[in-house]
Structure 1
């Protein structure tokens, strides 16, 4: 797909998106992000990809859903970059496996195990999946400013939601892995290769080790975790845009 053209999957074109983009998986979370933006407007919608744009504290922000998993996330990142996006923060949910991580907490990854297939089309086995340090620092500062409980560490990005056996989860727990998601490792790899900046903040909606919150879809802590992740991501973008110790944009 050529640079500057209307993109095949996202249906966005030149001038449609901002430099700074939040990437939730769920299209419904785009609408939640839009509630925090001034002048929020729908830009495009196609398949699982819903895009809104507005401003937060004077920063031009786009929110685009990626759907579930690394293949569609890679498509979203590539096509957004084709039309001018440069800074990405994934705003997702996560199942914790560290027993010290509670439902409602935030996880800010400093690396992701590539337990998925998409990133292997980009880089070989052994290549690390790591976020942008300045964005990670901005996320941490934003979480601390709000007094939100957060954890910094390694996550595992997986492909098969229902194939994670107890033995598999225990092996990851013994390695000190904080939690699981399904998109971050590919986000980090693609961003690195394309000269982009990327990071992730995850709201914890269940702990797969303790059993707390597992499939408790009506648990109000889930909505609170998502809200906190959105707030921290937006504030991090504002800090980075202002050059607040995180490298600027």
Structure 2
């Protein structure tokens, strides 16, 4: 029997599938293409929750040079990261200026831009980060940013890991062990694969230093939809299970390779994958869940822990920019650029309207 060349056939099919996927999510120049035909028909696309608009602001001028979108839970953490990455990549602000919260009029998220890096807060939980991801992906589309990389910088509960351990996610599951993001759309459940860029995870892990006074590991992350019962905690207002039940569940997660638990990885991995955007998640553990439920470390210790993922991500960004000859060679993008004063005022007013 002649050799059917099955391996070559599979490889060819995989390449064709990748090319087909790329054509759905990227234009030939590498800029982001939306999987939504309705956006192009709109007079203006208002990015309501970050107080920007496609016709009120010159988004190409403001964000066209963006390569990295880094997001984390709190406004303060991402402001701190913005200042940190500014020092690391040698970005200099014009004399007499300071870093500006670009989304200050939204009162929902905070966003800073440092050269080719955006630092933006995403709030807590699946719904909050999902809203931000829709608008950040659309922002990259309107800005014509080429092949942006999204990185979530977060905190988490570790499983059989020492507090302060850095965890790089290479896969994500929900509380039932499913590797997809499930949500009801028009009365039907839609399941979207939760897939991260494993190559990016390996590249980040390779930058962990033997001189770091903490461990950096790679593994599966569980995304919970709740901080208390959904993560098996017994210290919430309600609890219908025992300590023994909790420990059995957590130990089972460890056996399945789950390294940590947090609350945003599922939509983050699913929506970036759907958009064809390379993405990674780097978190630090605040506690070992096998030894307790409450975060009890002193504030100064917690602050130092939060710097650890930032350092690793900064190493990656710095190395990437060096390899491309872009370190300290910035062209002034990032200040507010207004297309239409009337629409600019309207967007601000609309974003400020909240109950």
TM-score (norm. length: structure 2): 0.60
Distance 2:198 2:125 in 1: 23
Q: 1:218 aligns with which of 290, 294, 298?
A: 298
Say how many residue pairs are matched: 236
1:1-249 → structure 2 map (5 Å cutoff): 2=39, 5-13=45-53, 14-15=59-60, 16-17=62-63, 18-36=66-84, 37=86, 38=91, 39=93, 40-45=99-104, 46-55=106-115, 60-84=116-140, 86-97=148-159, 99=160, 101-115=161-175, 119-121=181-183, 128-144=193-209, 147=212, 148-163=214-229, 164-165=231-232, 166=246, 167-211=248-292, 214-216=294-296, 218-242=298-322
Give the structure with the larger helix fraction. Answer: 2
Aligned CA distance change for structure 1 residues 220 and 113 (closer, same or farther; 3 Å):
same
CA contact (8 A) 1:138 1:239 kept: no
User: Quick check: which has more Rg, 1 or 2?
Assistant: 2
Pairwise CA distance, 1:198? 0.8
Distance 1:31 1:108 in 2: 22
CA contact (8 A) 2:208 2:312 kept: yes
Pairwise CA distance, 1:133? 2.5
Stretch moving more, 102-111 or 70-79: 70-79
Q: Deviations over 1:104-158 (max 9, x none)?
A: 1100011010239992138855x64231123212311222376352011111011
Distance 1:198 1:73 in 2: 14
CA contact (8 A) 2:49 2:108 kept: no
Distance 1:5 1:145 in 2: 47
Structure 1, unaligned runs of 5 or more: 245-249
Distance 1:229 1:192 in 2: 22
Distance 2:170 2:133 in 1: 19
Distance 1:26 1:77 in 2: 15
Give the structure with the larger strand fraction. Answer: 1
**Per the alignment, in what secondary structure is the counterpart of residue 216 of structure 1?**
coil
Distance 1:159 1:221 in 2: 27
**Per the alignment, in what secondary structure is the counterpart of residue 258 of structure 2?**
coil
CA RMSD of aligned residues (A): 2.7
Q: Deviations over 1:179-237 (max 9, x none)?
A: 101111211110111111110000111111123x9321525332222101111112222
Aligned CA distance change for structure 1 residues 145 and 242 (closer, same or farther; 3 Å):
farther
Distance 2:211 2:120 in 1: 25
Structure 2, unaligned runs of 5 or more: 1-37, 54-58, 94-98, 233-245, 325-355
Aligned CA distance change for structure 1 residues 5 and 64 (closer, same or farther; 3 Å):
same
TM-score (norm. length: structure 1): 0.83
